[in-house]
A and B are shown apart, each in its own frame.
Chain A
Amino acid sequence: MKHFIFASLIACAMALPAHATDYTIMAPAAPGGGWDQTARSLQTALQQEGVSKSVQVINVPGAGGTIGLAQFASQQKGKANALIVGGYVMVGAILTNKSPVSLKDVTPIARLTGENEALVVPASSPLKSVADLVAELKKNPGAVSWGGGSAGGVDHITAGLIAKAAGVDPTKINYIAFSGGGEALAAILGSQVTVGISGFGEFEAQIKAGTLRLLATSGDARIPGTDAPTLKEAGLDVSVQNWRMIAAAPGLTDAQKAAVTADIQKLATSKTWQETLKTKGWQDTYLSGPAFEAQLAKDISATEAILKDIGLVK
């Protein structure tokens, strides 16, 4: 009986419309991933800071977030209390999946966090620097296997950008997609692949323990506490950040949009959120309004270009 009651509660929770001031955040991914953690951290922070009385998180997993996005765009139209978490991975997934729904079909509110990509090799690898890697890549691009997350995702895109900047044909890169940075980590540690590429957080503990060597990071500045150069410092004109954002439903009035933006602004500057960023190791990349929209448009066109170069999008 107990489980029946629980099930009914879950079913009701999903069926009941939320109160006007209460937000519902969709995490377009399974529980446990980055977007889910972002959504649940937002839930906690919004409630603790009193921005919203009650916040619900819904998981709609699948296809790089495009399934959740499609559902969100069609069902939440005009609802000012519906939010969805998204990010750079979604930009790539929309293109590779030829998704009928894109970020144009929702109302992007703000960029919240970001993470730099890290380029690593196992400690036993003969590759000591980005220059060594570039030399290998030029000799025989197929012989360098890259271990990273899903095909067409930010890891794959970064690998393509590195090859392109090094003057190597990006379609020739031997990218081995794993079902996430974690599974890739095991392959890198076991020297199954030549080089690993994923979010810095995935590798941080191993880098500190000395089992992985950090060749470079992908941001505009070095990561404090590490001695590896940025890709730009290493002579490759590549700058990538895996950012996450929050968007609202399509069809909002300007006043509604402003109200949501104000709430998110309040959240982003709050103490709870800043502490969350610190414990999770996320970088604060808060950007909203027209500046964010311009940046988003730039990211989308750059991503489309590189995915075409790699050959994933025709």
Chain B
Amino acid sequence: MSTFEFLMQGLLVAAQPMNLFYALIGVTLGTAVGVLPGIGPALTVALLLPVTYQLDPAGSLIMFAGIYYGGMYGGSTTSILLNTPGESASIVTALEGNKMARAGRGGPALATAAIGSFVAGLIATIGLAFIAPFIVKLALVFGPREYFALMVLAFVTVSSAFGDSTLRGLTALFIGLALSTIGIDQLTGQTRLAFGVPDLLDGIEVTTLAVAMFAIGETLFIAAQGNKGPDKVEAVKGSVWMSATDWARSWKPWLRGTLIGFPIGAMPAGGAEIGTFLSYATEKRLTKHPEEFGHGAIEGVAGPEAANNASAAGTLVPLLTLGLPTTATAAIMLAGFQQFGLQPGPLLFATNPQLVWGLIASLLIANFMLLVLNLPLIGLWVRLLTIPKPWLYAGILLFATLGTIGANPSVFELGMLLAFGVLGYIMRVFGYPIAPVVVGLILGPMAEQQLRRALAISQGDFSVLFTSPIAAVLLTIAALALIVPLILRARGRGEVLSQMAANED
């Protein structure tokens, strides 16, 4: 049978009413748990794995796929509405998405996230079906030095999201980098800056920091304003649905986000958040409405959300072709496969085509179900914003705390949540941007480890960092991204840039 026939057969199996029902359950549960900050899709799948033992392989895979996609989308819902990113990949979504929600445009923000996720998931899943073997070859070319070059590029481009003062942005970034050095050094197994506290041995959890800085910090900030702050957010201004302009401004970011997210998700050490950072930076450079960035630009939601979902499908490339789980969720999926005596790996496409195509078909169906479930709910979701402020923020505090405890039952973790919340509050009061701290915590260890690995392999020879063609290209792009704005400014066009920068939050 050809690839196409397998896919059609898989779709037929997945489209049976019972399987559609499983997909719906999966998407519902995934979304419900995904909105809890701190509880990601991995824990959800782990909790539900025993339930799926009772199902046949097809049904259980479909439910998996639904939970996976649902969990990812649930994270963006809270990011947009409540400014509480549930997982590291939806941090960028909170930047523009929450601004949109505050301006009464929560509906279009949620819609562009949902439709963008659908479009990206659709394209990336089809990509998974047809070009997985090629993508994985590309991914394997990436060694430590290429990853390091990618991190350098991410640092340079993301710095454009650092707000109106470079100094303040860099200060925030370095707070994040400093926090990222806490814990066991992965390459030597030695502890750094843990001061004998066992809870610090594994470093600071990204979700704890993100939830604390965004949600707790915000809550404290609002509470400190007392009655002076704006009284109530206008939940809906204009239509709940996307206008023609919204569509026109969204479709290109969706496609670009997919293009960025899919290959990065397929890289064994890529990670979904890198794709969202790069997508955000790209949209900011290309947009025709630079003045809106920082105040709720729809491109800044559409692109990163598409990148996030595309990279989720990208994660399945190394899982299916190499048996290589690159995220915690993928690792649990692998455990699920083994339950049926299947070992993903280079031979899986040849030995178990039904299963592979069944899974790909399930992803398509789950993706569709996500849209079916979430589009009608948008009107309901945005009404969350009409909850009176004290109740709303009390609820946010409750969710943030529950989510953190659920992910890591430890008193110390709660203490960190509060401490970082206070830090986030102080930074807000003095006008420092929050996102770079989280970005530093995510990118710092990756860049450090890859650099040290590259140098260990070369036994200390720095020239390896530039001699690989891919690394050289990435570093050149990074250098251009850094230098070109400087030249432009020197040639007297700086006003435009500073104008752009001044409008950032």
Contact across chains for B36 and A3 when beta carbons are under 8 A apart: yes
Q: Which positions 306-345 of chain B face chain A at CB distance < 8 Å?
A: 318, 322-326, 328-332, 334-335, 338-341, 343-345
- A61 within 8 A of partner (CB): yes
Q: Which residue of A97, A174, A189 is within 8 Å of B140 (Cβ)?
A: A189
Please state if B347 and A31 are interface contacts (CB–CB under 8 Å): no
| B36 surroundings in chain A (CB, below 8 A) | 3, 6-7
Cα separation A193 to B453 with both chains bound (whole Å): 10
Of B46, B139, B326, B459, which one neighbours A142 at CB under 8 angstroms?
A: B459
Residue contact A151 to B186, C-beta cutoff 8 Å: yes
B269 interface hit (Cβ, 8 Å): yes
Within 8 A of A (CB), among B153-204: 184-191, 198-199, 201-202
User: How far apart sit A153 and B408, CA to CA, in the bound complex (Å)?
Assistant: 23
If A3-B36, A6-B33, A70-B198 touch, whether A31 touches B42 (CB-CB below 8 Å) is yes
Nearest A residue (CB) for B49: A40
Query: What 1/0 mask marks residues of chain A from 141 to 182 whose CB sits below 8 Å from any chain B CB?
Result: 011010000111100100000000000000000101111001
Residues of B within 8 A of A62 (CB): 198-199, 201-202
A294 within 8 A of B: no
B247 within 8 A of A: no
Query: In the complex the two chains form, what is the Cα distance from A205 to B323 in whole Å?
Result: 8
A58 to B341, CA, bound (A): 25
Task: Kindly state whether residue B240 has any CB partner on chain A within 8 Å.
Answer: no
Q: Is B456 a contact partner of A63 (Cβ separation < 8 A)?
A: no
**B144 interface hit (Cβ, 8 Å):** yes
CA distance A58 to B409 in the complex (A): 9
B189 touches A177 (CB 8 A): yes
Assess whether A287 is interfacial by the CB under 8 Å rule.
no
Question: Quick one: which of B35, B184, B406 contacts A11, CB cutoff 8 A?
Answer: B406
Contact A209 B345 (CB under 8 A): yes
Q: Is A256 positioned at the interface, with any CB of B under 8 Å from its CB?
A: no
* B residues contacting the other copy or chain, number (CB 8 A): 69
Residues of chain B within 8 A of A192, CB atoms compared: 143-144, 457
A194 to B, closest residue via Cβ? B457
Interface residue from B32, B46, B191, B347 paired with A97 (Cβ < 8 Å):
B191
A96 touches B (CB below 8 Å): yes
Report Cα–Cα, A64/B399, bound state, in Å. 29
In whole angstroms, what is the CA distance A36 to B46 when docked?
9
On chain B, the residues within 8 Å of A14 by CB distance are 405-406, 409
A92 CB to closest chain B CB (Å) equals: 8
Docked pose: A126 CA to B326 CA in angstroms: 29
Tell yes or no: A223 within 8 A of B by CB: no
> Which listed residue (B46, B50, B189, B453) contacts A32, Cβ 8 A?
B46
Is B457 touching A145 in the complex (CB atoms < 8 A)? Answer: yes
**Nearest residue, chain B, Cβ from A204:** B343
Residues A174 and B324 in contact in the complex (CB < 8 Å), given A33-B331, A151-B189:
no
Are A67's CB and B198's CB within 8 A? yes
Q: CA separation between A23 and B312, bound complex, in Å?
A: 35
**A11 touching B405 by the CB < 8 A rule?**
yes
The yes or no answer to B251 lying at the interface (CB within 8 A) is no
Please determine whether A186 and B324 come into contact, CB atoms closer than 8 angstroms.
yes
Chain A residue at minimum C-beta to C-beta distance from B350:
A209
Q: A40-B50, A280-B338 are in contact. Are A179 and B186 (CB under 8 A)?
A: yes
A254 to B408, CA, bound (A): 33
A290 within 8 A of B: no
Are the C-beta atoms of A31 and B332 separated by less than 8 Å? yes
A100 to chain B minimum Cβ distance, whole angstroms, is 8
Residue among B32, B329, B340, B453 making CB contact with A176, cutoff 8 Å? B453
How many residues of chain A get a CB closer than 8 Å to chain B's CBs? Answer: 64
A234 at the interface (CB under 8 A from B): no
Q: Is A252 in contact with chain B by the CB < 8 A criterion? A: no
Which residues of A are found within 8 Å of B140, using beta-carbon distances?
186, 189-190
- Interface check B403, CB cutoff 8 A: yes
B394-435 at interface with A (beta carbon < 8 Å) = 399, 402-403, 405-406, 408-410
A1-56 interface (Cβ within 8 A of B): 2-3, 6-8, 10-11, 14, 30-33, 36-37, 40, 43-44
Q: Which residues in chain B, 327-373, are within 8 Å of chain A measured between CB atoms? A: 328-332, 334-335, 338-341, 343-348
CA of A209 to CA of B324, assembled, Å: 14
Q: Which B residue sits closest to A7, measured CB to CB? A: B402
Chain B positions 433-484 with a Cβ under 8 Å from a chain A Cβ: 453, 456-457, 459
- Residue B43 interfacial (CB < 8 Å): yes
Q: Determine if A66 and B198 form an interchain contact, defined as CB atoms under 8 angstroms apart.
A: yes
B130 is an interface residue with CB less than 8 A from chain A: no
The chain A residue with its CB closest to the CB of B144 is: A192
Q: Which residues of B contact A178 (CB under 8 A)?
A: 453
Chain B positions within 8 Å of A3 at CB level: 32-33, 35-36, 74
Contact B328 A177 (CB under 8 A): no
Using Cβ atoms and an 8 Å threshold, which residues of chain B touch A228? none
If the complex has contacts A3-B36, A11-B402, are A279 and B341 also in contact, measured as CB distance less than 8 A?
A: yes
**Is residue B8 contacting chain A, with contact meaning CB distance below 8 A?**
no
Separation of A183 and B319 alpha carbons in the complex (Å)? 11
Question: A31 with B202: in contact, given A143-B459, A176-B453, A206-B345 (CB under 8 Å)?
Answer: no
Minimum distance in angstroms from B100 CB to a CB of chain A: 22
Contact for B188 among A10, A30, A66, A151, CB less than 8 A: A151
Residues facing A in B237-259 (CB within 8 A) are none
B202 touches A145 (CB 8 A): no
Contact A174 B328 (CB under 8 A): no
Contact A32 B325 (CB under 8 A): yes
CA distance A279 to B335 in the complex (A): 10
Asked whether, in the complex, the Cβ of A312 is within 8 Å of the Cβ of B188, the reply is yes
When C-beta atoms are compared, the residue in chain A nearest to B327 turns out to be A32
Across the interface, name the chain B residue whose C-beta is closest to A10.
B406
Q: Is A124 on the interface with B (CB-CB < 8 A)?
A: no
Contact B187 A177 (CB under 8 A): yes
Most A C-beta atoms less than 10 A away, residue of B140, B186, B187, B341: B140
When A31-B332, A142-B459, A187-B143 are in contact, do A44 and B53 touch as well, CB less than 8 Å? yes
Determine the residue in chain A with the shortest Cβ distance to B191. A97
User: Is residue A296 within 8 Å, beta carbon to beta carbon, of the partner chain?
Assistant: no
Taking the closest CB of chain A, its distance from the CB of B228, in whole angstroms, is 31
B186 near A150 with CB under 8 A, answer: yes
- Inter-chain contact B139/A186, CB cutoff 8 Å: yes
In the A-B complex, the 6 residue pairs with the smallest Cβ-Cβ separation, listed nearest first, are A205-B345, A32-B331, A151-B189, A31-B46, A152-B189, A63-B201
A-B contact pairs, 24 of them (CB 8 A): A3-B35, A6-B33, A6-B36, A10-B402, A10-B406, A11-B405, A59-B46, A60-B409, A63-B184, A67-B199, A150-B189, A151-B185, A152-B189, A176-B457, A178-B453, A182-B324, A182-B326, A186-B322, A189-B140, A193-B457, A205-B346, A209-B346, A312-B189, A312-B190
B residues touching A (Cβ–Cβ < 8 Å)? 28, 32-33, 35-36, 39, 42-43, 45-46, 49-50, 53, 74, 139-144, 184-191, 198-199, 201-202, 268-269, 318, 322-326, 328-332, 334-335, 338-341, 343-348, 399, 402-403, 405-406, 408-410, 453, 456-457, 459
